[in-house]
């Protein structure tokens, strides 16, 4: 029995999802390296120079002095300008990723549907490139995410300086609070974690939106969009719940479902009959593969059942996992009608298990 068209599309989408995971990690790493190379060293050098010129000794209170105010303004400028440039770098790279994802989605469709003489459509390059600046990730524009990161970093650095001055730290000790060391994280380490999360989430959003636009361009041949979650112990409850579900092409939830979301989507093609195809020269086996059925692939719940009790407890939490193993609750109960992830306490109360 030949594999159906939708099974083939699902397989290609799963393989492609591994590429998308590498892409989002690479985009995040690129911005972190930019901060490490272009922004943080300048910040540390200026911080040290300013503190040394302030001639710190004992436990001086410099918070009200002009030099301290100048230092804070200088820090704010460095962080703001550096993050603005990081935003420009990330935006340019993500625009290219959106165009590449649109092309790849069309290629996957065309490779599978070629025997049926079906040619898919691709959104225009300007539309794909506009995804980065014209749409929002979890209610925020990418520019706003970077601005919020700038504010958090500034507050962290200024707080580290003020605490260090209040406690009578030396210049080296204050710099260490900001930069970190082999044994301490420092404010800038938290800033890099922040940047990695923002860019990784944005990459998931941009590529998902590019696929979604491509699916909508081909709504005449597609009957739905499937949700594909990463199968491991780090998967969130909301992505566990959505995995394997098929939504209309023009509506329904789409990745990212949360920060650092790694989920993807796949196309579900209409059946041979639904498409009104009448191609008698095709072999019966080929025509039969165009059956429109959703692939019976390994969903997250199926995968989780094959894992050890320890892994199940890690994913769901011991209390929820115990009820799930006993069959008293299913994964579709992990989110509400608005696809909001419920807390473990909410889930158990709603099911009368608490």
Residue 57 forms part of a structural domain: yes
User: Is residue 161 scored above 80 in pLDDT?
Assistant: yes
The overall average pLDDT reported for the chain is: 84
Residue 305 forms part of a structural domain: no
User: Is residue 189 scored above 50 in pLDDT?
Assistant: yes
Residue 136 forms part of a structural domain: yes
Considering its fold, how many domains does the chain have in total? 1
| Per-residue pLDDT at 138 | 59
pTM, 2 dp:
0.80
Pair of tokens at residue 62: 């410099």
The residue range of the domain holding 195 is: 5-229+259-294
Residues 82-98: tens digit of each pLDDT = 999 999 999 999 999 99
Contacts for 19 with CB less than 8 Å, ≥ 6 apart: none
Residue 315 forms part of a structural domain: no
Look at the chain and count its residues.
354
Distance CA 338, CA 65 (A): 52
User: Is residue 226 scored above 70 in pLDDT?
Assistant: yes
Residue 41 forms part of a structural domain: yes
Cis preceding linkage at 36, omega within 30: no
| Per-residue pLDDT at 62 | 46
117 vs 121, residue with greater confidence: 121
Q: Which residue has the tokens 């959104």?
A: 123
115 vs 56, residue with greater confidence: 115
Over residues 10-37, the mean pLDDT reads 89
Residue 316 forms part of a structural domain: no
β strands within the chain, DSSP E: 222-228, 246-247, 264-269
Residue 240 forms part of a structural domain: no
Residue 343 forms part of a structural domain: no
Residues 24-74: tens digit of each pLDDT = 989 999 999 999 999 999 999 988 888 887 665 445 544 446 777 788 888
Distance CA 178, CA 127 (A): 41
């Amino acid at each position: 029995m030949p594999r159906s068209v939708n099974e083939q599309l699902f397989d290609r989408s799963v393989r492609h999802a591994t590429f998308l995971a590498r892409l989002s990690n690479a985009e995040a790493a690129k911005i972190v390296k930019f901060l490490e190379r272009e922004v943080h060293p300048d910040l540390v050098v200026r911080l040290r120079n300013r503190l040394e010129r302030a001639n710190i000794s004992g436990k001086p209170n410099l918070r009200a002095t002009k030099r301290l105010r100048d230092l804070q303004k200088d820090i704010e400028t460095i962080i703001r300008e550096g993050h603005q440039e990081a935003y420009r770098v990330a935006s340019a790279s993500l625009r290219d990723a959106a165009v590449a994802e649109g092309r790849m989605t069309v290629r996957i469709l065309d490779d599978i549907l070629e025997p049926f003489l079906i040619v898919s459509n691709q959104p225009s390059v300007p539309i794909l490139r506009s995804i980065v600046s014209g749409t929002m990730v979890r209610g925020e524009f990418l520019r706003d995410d970077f601005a919020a990161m700038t504010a958090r970093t500034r507050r962290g650095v200024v707080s580290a300086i003020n605490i260090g001055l209040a406690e009578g730290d030396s210049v080296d000790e204050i710099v260490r609070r900001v930069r970190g060391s082999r044994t301490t994280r420092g404010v800038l380490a938290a800033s890099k974690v922040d940047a990695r999360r923002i860019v990784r989430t944005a990459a998931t959003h941009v590529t998902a939106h590019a696929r979604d636009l491509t699916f909508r361009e081909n709504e005449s041949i597609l009957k739905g969009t499937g949700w594909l979650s990463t199968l491991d112990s780090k998967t969130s409850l909301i992505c566990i719940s959505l995995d394997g579900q098929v939504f209309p092409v023009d509506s329904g939830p789409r990745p990212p479902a949360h920060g650092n979301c790694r989920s993807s989507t796949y196309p579900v093609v209409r059946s041979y009959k639904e498409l009104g195809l009448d191609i008698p020269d095709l072999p019966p086996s080929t025509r039969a593969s165009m059956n429109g059925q959703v692939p019976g692939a390994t969903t997250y719940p199926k995968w989780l059942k094959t894992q050890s009790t320890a892994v199940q407890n890690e994913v769901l939490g011991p209390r929820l996992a115990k009820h799930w193993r006993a069959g008293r609750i299913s994964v579709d109960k992990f989110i509400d009608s608005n696809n909001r992830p419920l807390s473990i306490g909410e889930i158990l109360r709603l099911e009368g298990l608490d």
